[in-house]
Structure 1
Amino acid sequence: MTGKIIGLGSYQPPKTLTNDDLAKIVDTNDEWITERTGIKSRRVSDGIEDTSSAMASKAAKAALDDAGIDASELDMIVVACTTPDKLFPAMSFCVQKAIGADGCTCFDVNSACPGFVTAYNVAQNFIENGVVKTALVIGSETLTNIVDYTDRGTCILFGDGAGAMVLRAGEGRKNAAILKSSTTSMECLYCETLKQPKKLSDPAFEKETYLHMNGREVFRFVVSTIPASMQELLDREGVSAEEVDHYVFHQANKRIIEATAKKLNVPIEKFPMNIEETGNTSSASIPILLTKMKKEGVLKKGDKVMMASFGAGLNWGVNYFEY
């Protein structure tokens, strides 16, 4: 018994912030950003209609529609988010109310960018142990609320959005995963205090409440760590790197993705990307990408998929499954 993906959905706010737009408010330009990150534009929440919970609810409804099931059939909702609308109640309860899934169990997880992978594994464990039959897993973020728009090293990277997945118990290969964390690089990516909402035009916001990141250290850590975990999981499952159809990697930086493909000796074509138009949407990046792949006919039944993500902690997660 395992959790089979029966539905995918995503939502991104309509407002687009291009590299040229950023060049008007910080010392940067389109060429500089594109060369270092692969990002050309990102979506930005208005902070009113498109809060993290609102976007999560919209993505959830899209995933339920894709699955062809009613919200009343859900046994569990797990939401990954580091930028919730409020401290409590958990954002999953807000989603539960918005979609009409009264009665199911709900909770949130916070492991930053790998949050969706963490939530996915939690849901899989509940399904494989027979506790629940149908689970909704969501990643939703408004990272632009906590970036410093005077710091070109971080404000160019992040975008907002939400992605959702419906899992249902079924026959198939059990979930294969590696989840790890290392505190040796904890200081290279953090946010001291979260205050919501924060608008792009609010110059009085204290510097301490912004996201802080040492990009070089994150790059070094990821390239030296994540490919090894990916290979470890493949070896454990008896699958060669060449057999995998899609490497669904956290959309943080194009250079990181290219370096990972090189380490695994896998063609970059097996690493689908949408970072050019989304930026880094943290826990939402993988489900947003999976939804795009399905809509475009890239993701097909029976495909062998490896998804991997990393983020603050630093922590990381890798999964292998057959779609």
Structure 2
Amino acid sequence: MLRSVITGTGCYIPSHTKTNEDFIAQNFYAEDNTLIGIKSNIIIDKFKKITGIEERRYVTDDLNTSDIATLAARDAIKDSGIDMETLDLIIVAHNFGNVLKNSIQTDVVPSLANRVKHNLKISNPRCVAFDVLFGCPGWVQGVIQADAFFKAGMAKKALIIGAETLSRVIDVFDRDSMIFSDGAGATVIEYKDVEENGSGILSSCALSHCIDETYYLSMHPSNNPEVDANTRFIKMKGRKVYEYALKHVPEAMKECLDNSGVDIRDLKKIFIHQANEKMDEAIVQSMYRLYGYNEAPNDIMPMCIHYLGNSSVATIPTLYDIVLKGKDDDHSVDQGNVVLFASVGAGMNINAICYRI
């Protein structure tokens, strides 16, 4: 039986830590461009209670998204033990391309995947490199696409990367900006012959809601009226995103798990996009209620948002790498365990993968 198997993982966690206390001196403005008349320490305390975030990571000035994507890729390739010249696909998920420090301009020509292939010095022209723009679920979607390429007989080995430098596209005057961070995660996936109960992707699903939901995350001017209105920053309608995610993500996760044939009692971990602690907890609890349980197991959901923040497409592959390599004191996985990857983000897009390690 042929299945898509993750044979190597890696990540790049930026060296610069930005704590909540670092925002104490920051003035925050509301969407109507008025100064929020609440002390910053009160805003930050409320932010921490909702999101769970205590600190996040930002890249140093000399690095950009394709650089950290390359660093995560090298880590994953080394872990897999493959010859990188045998790769058939390089897929990089991101949302903003390369954004140089002190610039808001997005650079995606050439694509980040092309740049990663160049940085790795892969000469094989049949190694096809391209980017995926799918909001925060981009890395999961890249894995789904690689799986489809494999099943179509068009590839056998793929490098899937999620990388982002959100610190360069945030409006520092918007309190929601404290959510976002930088990082990169990568996986090598191979199409391999396995036993019926062997490793690999068991099922997947993806959804896009693009009527009322399309602009829940989008680019807009700063909340500070003194900032040039022609400069755009990432903006999020937090309440709308929360309501959307809680309504649709649990159903998608259940659909994916049901299609895999795996009983929910045999699910070991859920690696969910690290968007917001309260939202992620609510999504997982809601999924278990769909199966008739009052609550989810306490140890089902690893999280790194508390110390890494929300690095968009990088959160799931980074978290998976951390847990898989025994770097999480509270969570571990073993060969044969079944896990669920699930994400939601701009578009609005949702996806999930059921995977046996």
TM-score range, shorter chain: over 0.9
Deviation at 1:178, TM superposition (A): 0.9
1:35 corresponds to which residue? Answer: 49
2:355 corresponds to which residue? Answer: 321
Q: Does 1:185 align with 2:213?
A: yes
1:111 corresponds to which residue? Answer: 134
Residue correspondence of structure 1 range 85-234 to structure 2 within 5 A: 85=98, 86-103=107-124, 104-152=127-175, 154-172=176-194, 174-183=201-210, 184-191=212-219, 204=227, 206=229, 208-234=231-257
* Matched residue SS, 2:53: coil
Paired with 2:85 and 2:135, the residues of 1 have a C-alpha distance of 29
Paired with 1:20 and 1:174, the residues of 2 have a C-alpha distance of 41
- Residues 255-309 of structure 1, C-alpha deviations (whole Å, 9 max, x = no match): 0111012112322420110000111110011100011011117132211011000
Give the fraction of aligned pairs with identical amino acids, expressed as a percent.
32
Segments of 5+ residues of structure 1 without an aligned counterpart are: 194-202
- Contact 2:5-2:201 within 8 A present in 1 as well: no
**Among residues 272, 277, 281, which one is paired with 2:307 in the alignment?**
277
Matched letter for residue 308 of structure 1: A
Deviation at 1:207, TM superposition (A): 6.3
**Among residues 250, 259, 273, which one is paired with 1:250 in the alignment?**
273
2:323 corresponds to which residue? Answer: 293
Matched letter for residue 49 of structure 1: D
Matched letter for residue 91 of structure 1: L
- Contact 1:112-1:282 within 8 A present in 2 as well: yes
Paired with 2:64 and 2:161, the residues of 1 have a C-alpha distance of 14
**Please, what TM-score do these two structures have when normalized by structure 2?**
0.84
* Matched residue SS, 2:214: helix
Q: What do you get for the CA RMSD once the two structures are aligned?
A: 1.7
Matched letter for residue 14 of structure 1: S
Deviation at 1:137, TM superposition (A): 0.1
Deviation at 1:242, TM superposition (A): 2.1
- Contact 1:81-1:283 within 8 A present in 2 as well: yes
Paired with 2:297 and 2:171, the residues of 1 have a C-alpha distance of 36
Deviation at 1:112, TM superposition (A): 1.2
Matched letter for residue 185 of structure 1: E
1:18 corresponds to which residue? Answer: 19
Deviation at 1:205, TM superposition (A): 5.3
Matched letter for residue 55 of structure 2: S
1:69 corresponds to which residue? Answer: 82
* Matched residue SS, 2:215: helix
Matched letter for residue 20 of structure 1: E
- Contact 1:308-1:319 within 8 A present in 2 as well: yes
- Contact 2:268-2:337 within 8 A present in 1 as well: yes
Higher helix share: 1
Moved more, 273-282 or 31-40: 31-40
- Contact 2:202-2:356 within 8 A present in 1 as well: no
Tell me which structure has the larger Cα radius of gyration.
2
1:58 corresponds to which residue? Answer: 71
* Matched residue SS, 1:186: coil
* Matched residue SS, 1:269: coil
Segments of 5+ residues of structure 2 without an aligned counterpart are: 29-39, 99-106, 195-199, 289-295
* Matched residue SS, 1:179: strand
Matched letter for residue 349 of structure 2: N
- Residues 46-104 of structure 1, C-alpha deviations (whole Å, 9 max, x = no match): 3x322000000000000011111232121110000112111211100110011122221
Q: Does 1:306 align with 2:306?
A: no
Moved more, 17-26 or 183-192: 183-192
- Residues 141-165 of structure 1, C-alpha deviations (whole Å, 9 max, x = no match): 011111110010x211000000000
Deviation at 1:192, TM superposition (A): 5.6
